[in-house]
Structure 1
Amino acid sequence: MTQAPLRTTVHAMAMPFVIELEGADPAEAEPAIAAFHAALVWADELFSLWKDDSYLSHHLRGELTLDEAPAELREVLEACEWYREATGGGFDARRKDGVIDPTGLVKGWAVARASRHLRAARARDWMVGASGDVLVAGGRTRRIGIANPRVSGDPTGTAVIDVIELGGAFTAVATSGGAQVVDHIWDPVTGEVARHYLQVSVAGTDLADADAWATAIAGGGPAVVGRALERGLEVMVVTGERHDGTFDAQSSPGWPSVR
């Protein structure tokens, strides 16, 4: 008899993370999921701008140097600078008011880093869903829906605007837009709220990379898309909404749609 997938949800960083393990030993899955969850909680304690006692908050107030902070703080801030250069300024962790905000990278980075704990469960296949971002591993391919950009909250049960296949050439997809947090992406050039696209999705092999590039394209617009394609990523941008509630979208030639 085929064992049913183990599916559970943990909460961290003010959002749910859905975990699905197939072929895992239940005795090994429970501690693996607990370690995954703990890694996400720790990432929030490290990077949250909403917590006065996070390491990043202490650093921004001048109370903690990078040498005194956990090494991961420097790692992520240096990665933000790398993405700023790679995206031609489309990704920029420094806000208009000068505050450093690595949010556009942290979720993908945290999930990619925490996922190493899921390997301890020795699952045949696994998947993590993180509020629009998905990471998969193993031999199975999965069909993943790209949510309607006008649907806020949990999109389960609502119509999707596209379906893609993850597994094989693409193991990660990240989506950036204003459905969950309105007007949270700024244009680094103007310093104002970005209005280039309703939604941006990027598919690749690394969730942190896909997350950063989705943020960069949403913030920087069409000029950043070509840079993403040069790096082997695939992109879908939602450019507008039609009168009947459907959407105009453009995707790169290798976008893994199955529709």
Structure 2
Amino acid sequence: MRRVEHIMGFPISLLVEGNENDSENDGENGVMTAEAAEPAFDWLREVDARFSPFRADSEVSRLDRGELARDEVSRDLAEVLALCEEYRVATGGAFDVRLPGRGLDPCAMVKGWAVQRAAELLTDLGAKRLCLNAGGDVAATGGPWRVGVRHPERADRLCTVLSLTDGAVATSARYERGDHILDGRTGRPATGLLSLTVVAPSLTEADATATAAFAMGAEGIEWAASREGCEIFAVDARQRVFRTPGLPVAA
């Protein structure tokens, strides 16, 4: 089953493969149908409505305007804000969703967190072999899946191809949106890296670690590599390539 929708400002594609002997999934020959996956996409649309800083009526916007107290937010938003604070402290302020002169913007945490939960929901619904791709960041189960890492300066080239069984891959880079990742310590764009890819057990961790490390600049490579369960592929501003020994490169 394949399905693609545009949610949270980027395409989200789902591929679910089934086994004809697997009777636990919905649909012919045990393959999950598009309709059966609807709760996961409903969840992603709900997240967009509740947590987008670009929607005036979202919970995030209401909190930022002072219409909600911190102890009045939902359990989900409280969890996201706690994760944001964890990464702010861990990076010495490089990762910060409250930059001076800007409103509260937890998007760097929300994306991976929300898509990871969607993947878990699909698993609970019976999908055993799935690949959920959100704007190039991937959560997968039942692999191996082959995940290409784009060359940071050549859109038609790959730097490497990873083999992912159960886990996630996320990349932060400058090639799609320019200098959009800011170093919270200075408020200026982070320019020490061209791209940084993280493989981790969950997309929550992979995406947040990739963004946080990119915000730190060149020092973020070592920081990300030191995170438990994380493997790294990075290209710095001088086009030097770094990779951790356990990076799951496809044969």
TM-score where L is the length of structure 2: 0.88
Matched residue, 1:165: 163
Matched residue, 1:217: 213
- Whether contact under 8 Å (2:218, 2:236) holds in the other structure is no
Q: How many residues align?
A: 241
SS class of match (2:209):
helix
Matched residue, 1:254: 246
More displaced stretch, 26-35 vs 184-193:
26-35
Matched residue, 1:9: 4
Gaps of 5+ in 1: 1-5, 242-246
Partner AA of 2:198 in structure 1? V
Matched residue, 1:205: 201
Matched residue, 2:54: 50
Pick aligned residue for 2:110 from 103, 106, 110 = 106
Pick aligned residue for 1:183 from 179, 183, 197 = 179
Cα distance change on mapping 1:234 and 1:90 into 2, 3 Å? farther
Cα distance between partner residues in 2 of 1:56 and 1:100:
7
Q: What is the RMSD computed on CA atoms of the aligned residues?
A: 2.0
SS class of match (1:29):
coil
Tell me by how many angstroms 1:240 deviates.
4.1
Matches within 5 A, 1:1-259: 6-23=1-18, 24-26=25-27, 29-138=33-142, 140-150=143-153, 158-167=156-165, 171-232=167-228, 233-240=230-237, 248-258=240-250
Cα distance between partner residues in 1 of 2:153 and 2:44:
27
Cα distance between partner residues in 1 of 2:94 and 2:245:
22
Tell me by how many angstroms 1:21 deviates.
0.5
Cα distance between partner residues in 2 of 1:202 and 1:50:
27
1:6-55: CA deviation from partner (whole Å, max 9, x where unpaired): 11112210111110111143275334421111111111112111111111
Cα distance between partner residues in 1 of 2:88 and 2:217:
14
Cα distance between partner residues in 2 of 1:250 and 1:172:
19
Cα distance between partner residues in 1 of 2:51 and 2:94:
21
Cα distance between partner residues in 2 of 1:39 and 1:150:
34
Tell me by how many angstroms 1:181 deviates.
1.8
- Whether contact under 8 Å (1:88, 1:224) holds in the other structure is no
Gaps of 5+ in 2: 19-24
Cα distance between partner residues in 2 of 1:30 and 1:143:
23
Identity of aligned residues (%): 36
